[in-house]
Amino acid sequence: MMRLPEIRMLKILFALLLLVISVTGRAAIETYRFDDASQEESYKKLVAELRCLVCQNQNLADSNAELAHDMRRKTYELIIAGKTDDEIVDFMVARYGDFVMYNPPVKSTTMLLWFGPLVFLLIAASVVFVFMRKQKKNAPVVSAQQQKQVHKLLDE
Amino acid sequence: MSRILVPLGFLLLMFLFWLMLDRIGEGEYNPRDIPTEFIGKAAPSINVPDLFDPSRMVQTADMKGQVWLFNVWGTWCPECWREHEYLLELSKTVPIIGLNWRDQADESRAMLARMGNPFRQIGFDPQSNVAMDWGVYGAPETFLVDAEGVIRAKHAGAMTPQVWEEKFRIYFEKGQGTP
């Protein structure tokens, strides 16, 4: 049986452990100070939208790569300098290309990306349509006599 | 009809898949490659101090009229060590300006003292300012700037005799920067 002071000690130890966990959780990403809430919102939106070029399946917010770190810092600096969201995206696109956007613009080179899935859907739908019509056509014709027989058998 | 079409379609997909894998294997296609935005555009300035002389900035204005290479490297980058010897050889005939990226100045100077220095000037860029202006996303990367100060070619990865032959040599043949 544990005595009261021991339990209290354990509680304190536990609280300290929780503190450690929260500290390591925050250590991976740097924190920035903003002048107002709209700037912070812009920052959050941009780092979620912009793509890291090293770890290509992560956005800037998720990535821990050094390049992502640099790009986050640049994003922050540009926001503080009073640039608009569009200007910051343009800044990144001028350097890293459309690749840097998770929401790429519709243009000739991205047509397949935007409309490819729709084309596949249409192909699949027409295949299903043709298949179903064929099934209907090949369905066996049941005569009135046979119909009666079926009902009789089912009733028994 | 569909009894032939379906397997045929499947075979076609398989063939395309094999084609892609084959090209990746041959090194002709890299799905992670990012097309550069800078071909045909004016080279950005290299607005950082010199690695060996921090009191002066890197000057590219006097490179006008000649074709030169811009090589981004760091002591932390194994591919950079690998290409170093070839850069030394190239530097006998080709002007190369380096960018020491995200690095420690003393370590970088020590590496060049140990392995030789292929660079005419070296920008020191621990904060990635110049690297970002040039759209660099990894090291090593090598750009070719022509006599008018326009970027004509770029290679991400180590410079090798093969890469030189395929992408760069032609720009030096007439000495004008236009193939």
Is the domain of B96 the same as that of B141?
yes
**pLDDT average, residue stretch B158-165:** 94
Query: Which residues have CB under 8 Å from B97's CB, separation 6+?
Result: B46, B58, B60, B63, B68, B69, B70, B71, B119, B120, B121, B122, B123
Q: Which two tokens stand for residue B108?
A: 């970088």
Is the domain of B72 the same as that of B146?
yes
Q: How many domains is chain B partitioned into structurally?
A: 2
Q: Which two tokens stand for residue B142?
A: 């090598």
For residue B178, being part of any structural domain is answered with no
Is the domain of B49 the same as that of B85?
yes
User: What whole-number distance in Å separates Cα of residue A13 and Cα of residue A20?
Assistant: 11
Is the domain of B154 the same as that of B70?
yes
Q: What percent of chain A has pLDDT over 90?
A: 34
pLDDT tens per residue across span A137-152: 887 778 888 888 888 8
For chain A, what is the radius of gyration of the CA atoms? 31
Q: What percent of chain A has pLDDT over 70?
A: 90
- Residues of chain B in contact with residue A95, where contact means CB-CB under 8 angstroms, are 37, 132-135
Question: Contact A70/B128, CB-based, under 8 Å?
Answer: yes
Is the domain of B1 the same as that of B43?
no
User: What whole-number distance in Å separates Cα of residue B37 and Cα of residue B40?
Assistant: 9
Q: Over 50: is that where the pLDDT of A112 sits?
A: yes
Q: Over 70: is that where the pLDDT of A20 sits?
A: no
Is the domain of B65 the same as that of B14?
no
For residue B179, being part of any structural domain is answered with no
Is the domain of B124 the same as that of B142?
yes
Is the domain of B101 the same as that of B164?
yes
Is the domain of B72 the same as that of B141?
yes
Is the domain of B24 the same as that of B42?
no
Is the domain of B55 the same as that of B132?
yes
- Full residue range of the structural domain in which residue B103 is found: 38-173
Is the domain of B10 the same as that of B63?
no
Q: What is the pLDDT of residue A1?
A: 58
Q: Which residues of B touch A (CB under 8 A)?
A: 32, 34-37, 102, 127-128, 131-135, 137-138
Question: Contact B138/A54, CB-based, under 8 Å?
Answer: yes
Q: Which two tokens stand for residue A133?
A: 């019509």
For residue B33, being part of any structural domain is answered with no
| CATH, residue B118 | 3.40.30.10
Q: What is the pLDDT of residue A21?
A: 63
pLDDT tens per residue across span B58-96: 988 888 899 999 999 999 999 999 999 999 999 999 999
A138 touches chain B (CB under 8 A): no
B40-A106-A52 Cα angle (round to 5): 65
Q: What is the pLDDT of residue A137?
A: 82
Interface predicted TM-score of the whole assembly (ipTM), two decimals? 0.77
- Residues of chain A in contact with residue B130, where contact means CB-CB under 8 angstroms, are none
Q: Find the residue in B nearest to A55 (Cα).
A: B32
Please state, rounded to an integer, the average pLDDT across all residues of chain A.
84
Q: Which CATH architecture has domain A30-155?
A: Orthogonal Bundle (1.10)
- Of A10-14, A38-42, A75-79, A97-101, the poorest mean pLDDT is in A10-14
Q: Over 60: is that where the pLDDT of B177 sits?
A: no
